Amino acid sequence: MQKMDSRATESPSLWEGALKLIGPEKGVVHLATAAILNAVWDLWAKQEGKPLWKLLVDMDPRRLLSCIDFRYITDVLTEEEAHEILQRGQVGKREREEQMLTEGYPAYTTSCAWLGYPDATLQQLCSEALKDGWTRFKVKVGADLQDDIRRCQLIRNMIGPEKTLMMDANQRWDVPEAVEWMARLAEFRPLWIEEPTSPDDILGHAAISKALAPLGIGVATGEQCHNRVIFKQLLQAKALQFLQIDSCRLGSVNENLAVLLMAKKFDVPVCPHAGGVGLCELVQHLIIFDFISVSASLKDRMCEYVDHLHEHFKYPVRIKKASYMPPKDAGYSTEMKEESVKKHQYPDGEVWKKLLAAPGD
Q: Give the residue numbers annotated as catalytic, written as ranges.
A: 140, 273
Q: How far apart are the first and last CA of the chain?
A: 47
**For residues 293 and 288, what is the distance between their CA atoms, to the nearest angstrom?**
9
**For residues 156 and 333, what is the distance between their CA atoms, to the nearest angstrom?**
35
**For residues 308 and 139, what is the distance between their CA atoms, to the nearest angstrom?**
16
Torsion angles phi and psi, residue 166, rounded to 5: -120, 160
Provide the β-strand partners of residue 313.
336
Residue-by-residue DSSP string for 139-153: EE--S-HHHHHHHHH
Q: Which residues contact 43 (CB under 8 A, 6 or more apart)?
A: 4, 331
Instruction: Give residue 252's region: left, alpha or beta (phi > 0; psi -120 to 50).
Output: left
Strand ranges, E, within the chain = 105-113, 136-140, 164-168, 192-194, 218-221, 242-243, 303-305, 318-319, 323-325
